[in-house]
Amino acid sequence: MPDEPEVVVTDRGPGEDLPVLRPMPWYAMILIRVFRTYIQGLLGFLAAGMVGSPNVRDFGVVLLSAASLAVAPAVVALLMNSAEILAKWDQTQPQIRA
């Protein structure tokens, strides 16, 4: 599909002065955004969980708790980004509509 929504990553080839544009596939964009959201949520929940317990032995429990809580914002990011990609496809490729 020539009009797909895409993110372009610039890359310079060996001995080339001009950057070569390399499109990033839609699923890579979504996975990067979801992973970033998960890491941000994990660090935020981990920081919030460690505020009340300075005991190092509680770190494993807090880490598991933060890891499980961070899944929810990542799922929301997955749904929102998937809807965004589908909306862009609908605008650029109206013949694909069901």
For 59-84, how does the pLDDT look when each residue is reduced to its tens digit (9 = 90+)? 888 899 999 999 999 999 999 999 98
Q: Per the structure, how many domains does the chain have?
A: 1
- Can you give the residue range of the structural domain that contains 63? 26-96
In a domain, residue 81? The reply is yes
**pTM over cut 0.75:** no
In a domain, residue 13? The reply is no
In a domain, residue 39? The reply is yes
CA distances from 34 to 14, 26, 50, 89 (A): 32, 12, 24, 20
In a domain, residue 5? The reply is no
In a domain, residue 11? The reply is no
Residue 25 has pLDDT above 90, yes or no: no
**3 state SS of 75:** helix
- pLDDT at position 96 is 67
